[in-house]
């Protein structure tokens, strides 16, 4: 390893986002070899230096590992479940490295979960302001009207804060229809709560895509390592966002305006 800026080291080690790491440094909460480093330009080497945050020593993950897993229903994505229910990490048989899930998927939801030991990557994918799109297939207990679909797209009040513009389209019309939904936020139970807002219950919920990564043909309970080119695709998005302040193709419009496209594609 070589020297890197402190805020980058903190974020890669999973402490927090790079921006919050900067605040922690400026607040004097970070020491390098026993000395407070309260300047943002400071560099250090996680392998060589003793870096402490609030007195706690940081350790470097040696190999960065990225996993895609198809979560079946009946598993939690937390590492510590008070009810002792099965965890998605129980499915990673044979993996020697400790990884943790990037974001949440409800106990009763299924589909794509990414797991990693790269804290920076996890923070970037989870960041609600990051705008990385997550795509879901949703079976509901009834149809939404055209007006409700439009509201869904524009944003609805949820927990005192409007949801960001979203995409939704009907993909199978039936008594219990299927929708494809794409969100750039990841609020707790967001899809279920958005349907509930219109008096509809979600009966099935499957995540099929996170940013550039598709669930594809991965079988339920199966997992695989991401290809380097798949990790690179995420990194390209992060870089683009750092340079432009938003993601490619992201429209900049107030919530009250209609989205340009009415489908989830
Ligand atoms: N939205 C939900 O309501 N649940 C999930 O598991 C994912 C998104």
- CA distances to 198, 202, 214 from 218, rounded to whole Å, are 32, 23, 9
What is the Cα–Cα distance from 97 to 59, expressed in whole angstroms? 14
pLDDT of 253 reads 43
Measured from the Cα of 194, ligand 1's closest atom is 3
In the reported structure, the alpha carbon of residue 50 is separated from the centroid of ligand 1 by a whole-number distance in angstroms of 39
Asked if residue 205 has its Cβ within 6 Å of ligand 1, the reply is: yes
Asked if residue 189 has its Cβ within 6 Å of ligand 1, the reply is: yes
Residue tagged 């594609």 (tokens): 265
Active site positions, annotated: 106
What is the Cα–Cα distance from 110 to 221, expressed in whole angstroms? 10
- pLDDT tens digit sequence for 49-73: 899 999 998 876 668 999 999 999 9
Q: Which pLDDT tens digits describe the chain residue by residue (265 residues)?
A: 578 889 888 887 778 778 889 999 999 999 999 999 988 888 998 878 899 999 998 876 668 999 999 999 999 999 889 999 999 999 999 898 899 999 899 999 999 999 999 988 998 898 766 679 999 999 999 999 999 999 999 999 999 999 999 999 999 999 999 999 999 988 999 999 999 999 999 999 999 999 999 999 999 999 999 999 999 999 999 888 888 877 776 654 444 333 444 444 4
pLDDT of 36 reads 93
In the reported structure, the alpha carbon of residue 45 is separated from the centroid of ligand 1 by a whole-number distance in angstroms of 39
In the reported structure, the alpha carbon of residue 102 is separated from the centroid of ligand 1 by a whole-number distance in angstroms of 13
pLDDT of 1 reads 53
pLDDT of 128 reads 64
CA dihedral for 253, 254, 260, 261, sign (positive or negative): positive
- CA distances to 34, 83, 134, 140, 144 from 171, rounded to whole Å, are 59, 36, 17, 12, 12
What is the Cα–Cα distance from 40 to 18, expressed in whole angstroms? 11
pLDDT of 236 reads 92
In the reported structure, the alpha carbon of residue 140 is separated from the centroid of ligand 1 by a whole-number distance in angstroms of 13
Q: Which helix (H) or strand (E) covers residue 259, if one does?
A: none
**CA-wise closest residue to 106 among 204, 194, 247:** 204
Q: Whose CA is nearest to atom 4 of ligand 1?
A: 189
What is the Cα–Cα distance from 184 to 211, expressed in whole angstroms? 9
Tell me 110's DSSP state.
E
Measured from the Cα of 106, ligand 1's closest atom is 6
Asked if residue 88 has its Cβ within 6 Å of ligand 1, the reply is: no
Contact residues for 23 (Cβ-Cβ < 8 A; gap 6+): none
Asked if residue 77 has its Cβ within 6 Å of ligand 1, the reply is: no
| Residue from 189, 194, 195, 204 whose mutation best tests the ligand 1 pocket (most atoms within 8 A of CB) | 189
Asked if 239 contacts 121 with a C-beta cutoff of 8 angstroms, the reply is no
Set out the domains of the chain in order of their start, with CATH numbers.
4-57 (3.10.290.10), 61-265 (3.30.2350.10)
Q: Whose CA is nearest to atom 2 of ligand 1?
A: 189
Contact residues for 45 (Cβ-Cβ < 8 A; gap 6+): 1, 2, 3, 4
Measured from the Cα of 108, ligand 1's closest atom is 6
Asked if residue 13 has its Cβ within 6 Å of ligand 1, the reply is: no
**CA-wise closest residue to 207 among 231, 186, 228, 225:** 186
Asked if residue 16 has its Cβ within 6 Å of ligand 1, the reply is: no
pLDDT of 244 reads 82
């Amino acid at each position: 390893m070589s020297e890197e800026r402190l805020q980058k080291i903190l974020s890669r080690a999973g402490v927090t986002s790079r921006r919050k790491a900067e605040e922690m440094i400026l607040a004097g909460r970070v020491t390098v070899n026993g000395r407070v480093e309260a300047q943002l330009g400071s560099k250090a080497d996680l392998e060589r230096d003793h870096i402490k945050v609030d007195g706690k020593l940081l350790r470097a993950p040696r190999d960065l590992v990225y996993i895609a897993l198809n979560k079946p229903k009946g598993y939690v994505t937390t590492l510590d479940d008070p009810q002792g229910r099965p965890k998605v990490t129980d499915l990673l048989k044979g993996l020697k490295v400790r990884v943790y899930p990037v974001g949440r998927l409800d106990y009763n939801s299924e589909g794509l979960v990414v797991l990693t030991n790269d804290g920076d990557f996890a923070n970037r994918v989870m960041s609600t302001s990051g705008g990385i799109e997550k795509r879901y297939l949703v079976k509901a207990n009834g149809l939404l009207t055209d007006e409700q679909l439009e509201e869904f797209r524009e944003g609805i009040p949820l927990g005192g804060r409007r949801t960001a513009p979203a995409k939704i389209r009907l993909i199978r019309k039936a008594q219990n229809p299927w929708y494809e939904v794409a969100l750039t936020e990841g609020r707790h139970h967001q899809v279920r709560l958005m349907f509930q807002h219109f008096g509809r219950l979600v009966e099935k919920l499957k995540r099929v895509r996170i940013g550039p990564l598709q669930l594809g043909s991965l079988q339920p309970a199966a997992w695989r390592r991401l290809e380097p080119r798949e990790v690179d695709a995420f990194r390209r998005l992060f870089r683009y966002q750092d340079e432009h302040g938003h993601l490619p193709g992201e429209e900049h419009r107030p919530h009250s305006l209609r989205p340009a496209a009415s489908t989830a594609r």
